[in-house]
C-alpha cells in the first residue's frame, strides 16, 4: 500500500499502513490514513485495501494529510477510522483553523449519532485523528485529537510537535505531574490508555466522566513546558526537516525513546519513500524492546526544496 509522490511540486511524500510487526499480529488493520494531493486525488483505506478517488472542486495546490488509529478495544475501531476518512473527503478545503475546527466538530457529532444508533453495549467507538491542512499560501494548519503524533526530524533529533491525550497529560494539566515525570510517562514508556478520541469524546478535565465534546488543548490550559504544542495551531514547515505523521504502533514498546532516537540516522540521505521503507524495515527487523502488537501507519513528508535550502523558516510563537 506504499504511496509515494511529489504533491504538486510542494511536498515529497510517502504513506503506508500495515497490520503491524512483532511475534503477534492484530487480526485486522484498524488504522487508516488520508492524503489529498494538489490536484484533488485522495487516497485512503477501505476494508484494509487502498482506495483512490478524485475530490470534485478541490482547489488547485491545496493539500490534506491525516492519520487515524481506530480503538479496537471499544469495537468497530476499523469502521470508526474509515468513517472519519470518508468524512474528511466531504469537508471542503479549509484556509483557517476556525473553519477546519467547525467542520470537524460537526463530523464528530454526526458520527457519534451514527454509532450511538447501533445501540450496542459498552462505550462508543473512537479513533485518533492527527491531520495537517496545507493551503497553497501560508502555514500548515495542525488539528490533533488522541495519541497519534506529528514529529519533526532533523540530524539533531526527532522532536514531537503534538501532545498525547493520555492520563499523564490530564495529570500535568491538573498540576499533579511535573515536566520530567510527563516526559518519562509519555515518551519514555507506553500505556494503551487514551483521554480523548474522535467520535468517543474526552475525559481530559473530569477523568470520571466521558464528555461527548472534543477539546483543543490551548496554551492557556497546558503547563508552561507544553504550551508551544497546542493541539490546533499554525505550523511553519522547515525546509531542512523531515516530518512523520504516525500512529502509536511505532512507539508501543517498553523503551520508545530508544527507538525514536534511531529515526534521524534511518532518515539521513533518503527521500520520503526511502525514509518510510527504512522505518517499516527497522520495525520488522530490529523492533524496539518490548514491542506490543499494534497496527502501523505513517506519512513521511518534506518540503520539495529540502536538501537544497539549509535555512530554516522561523517557527511561530
pLDDT at 19 over 50: yes
Instruction: Kindly give the interhelix angle for 77-90 and 97-116, rounded to the nearest 10 degrees.
Output: 140
Phi–psi pair at 173, nearest 5 degrees: -60, -35
- With beta carbons less than 8 A apart as the criterion, state whether 2 and 266 touch: no
The whole-number average pLDDT for the span 103-118 is: 94
Query: pLDDT tens digits for 136-152?
Result: 987 899 999 999 999 99
Residue 76 confidence (pLDDT): 85
Residues 261, 252: Cα–Cα separation, whole Å: 14
Counting every residue written for the chain, the total comes to 317
Neighbours of 150 (CB within 10 A): 23
Which of the four pLDDT bands, split at 50, 70 and 90, describes residue 191? confident
Query: pLDDT tens digits for 40-84?
Result: 999 999 998 999 999 999 999 999 999 999 986 556 889 999 999
Residues 308, 198: Cα–Cα separation, whole Å: 38
The whole-number average pLDDT for the span 238-248 is: 96
Beta bridge partners of 131: 66, 143
Which of the four pLDDT bands, split at 50, 70 and 90, describes residue 121? confident
| Portion of the chain with pLDDT greater than 70, in percent | 90
Residues 86, 80: Cα–Cα separation, whole Å: 10
Residues 18, 205: Cα–Cα separation, whole Å: 34
Q: What H or E segment, with its residue span, contains residue 116?
A: helix 97-116
Tell me the C-alpha to C-alpha distance, in Å, between residue 150 and each of 145, 160, 247, 248, 312.
12, 6, 9, 11, 18
Residue 238 confidence (pLDDT): 93
Domains, the chain, in order of start with CATH, read 3-158+231-303 (3.60.40.10)
Which residue has 540516522 as its cell numbers?
Answer: 265
Residue 75 confidence (pLDDT): 65
The whole-number average pLDDT for the span 10-19 is: 92
Amino acid at each position: 500500500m506504499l504511496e509515494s509522490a511529489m504533491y504538486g511540486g510542494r511536498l515529497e511524500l510517502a504513506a503506508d499502513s500495515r497490520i503491524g510487526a512483532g511475534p503477534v499480529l492484530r487480526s485486522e488493520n484498524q488504522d487508516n490514513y488520508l492524503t489529498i494531493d494538489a490536484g484533488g486525488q485522495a487516497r485512503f483505506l477501505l476494508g484494509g485495501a487502498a482506495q483512490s478517488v478524485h475530490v470534485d472542486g478541490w482547489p488547485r495546490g491545496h493539500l490534506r494529510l491525516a492519520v487515524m488509529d481506530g480503538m479496537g478495544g471499544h469495537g468497530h475501531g476499523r469502521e470508526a477510522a474509515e468513517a472519519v476518512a470518508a468524512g474528511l473527503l466531504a469537508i471542503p478545503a479549509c484556509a483557517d483553523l476556525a473553519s477546519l475546527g467547525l467542520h470537524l466538530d460537526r463530523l464528530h457529532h454526526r458520527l457519534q449519532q451514527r454509532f450511538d444508533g447501533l445501540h450496542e453495549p459498552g462505550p462508543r467507538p473512537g479513533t485518533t485523528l492527527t491531520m495537517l491542512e496545507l493551503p497553497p499560501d501560508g502555514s500548515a494548519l495542525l488539528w490533533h485529537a488522541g495519541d497519534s503524533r506529528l514529529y519533526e526530524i532533523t540530524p539533531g533529533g526527532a522532536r514531537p510537535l503534538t501532545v498525547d491525550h493520555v492520563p499523564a497529560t490530564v495529570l500535568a494539566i491538573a498540576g499533579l505531574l511535573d515536566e520530567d515525570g510527563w516526559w518519562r510517562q509519555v515518551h519514555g514508556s507506553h500505556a494503551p490508555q487514551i483521554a480523548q478520541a474522535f467520535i468517543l469524546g474526552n475525559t481530559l478535565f473530569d477523568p470520571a466522566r466521558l464528555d461527548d465534546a472534543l477539546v483543543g488543548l490551548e496554551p492557556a490550559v497546558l503547563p508552561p513546558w507544553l504550551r508551544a504544542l497546542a493541539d490546533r495551531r499554525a505550523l511553519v514547515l522547515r525546509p531542512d526537516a523531515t516530518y512523520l505523521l504516525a500512529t502509536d504502533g511505532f512507539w508501543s514498546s517498553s523503551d520508545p525513546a530508544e527507538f525514536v532516537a534511531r529515526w534521524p540516522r534511518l532518515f539521513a540521505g533518503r527521500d520520503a519513500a526511502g525514509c518510510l521503507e527504512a522505518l517499516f524495515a527497522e520495525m520488522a527487523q530490529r523492533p524496539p524492546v518490548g514491542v506490543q502488537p499494534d497496527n502501523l501507519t505513517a506519512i513521511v513528508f518534506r518540503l520539495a526544496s529540502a536538501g537544497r535550502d539549509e535555512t530554516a523558516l522561523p517557527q511561530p510563537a
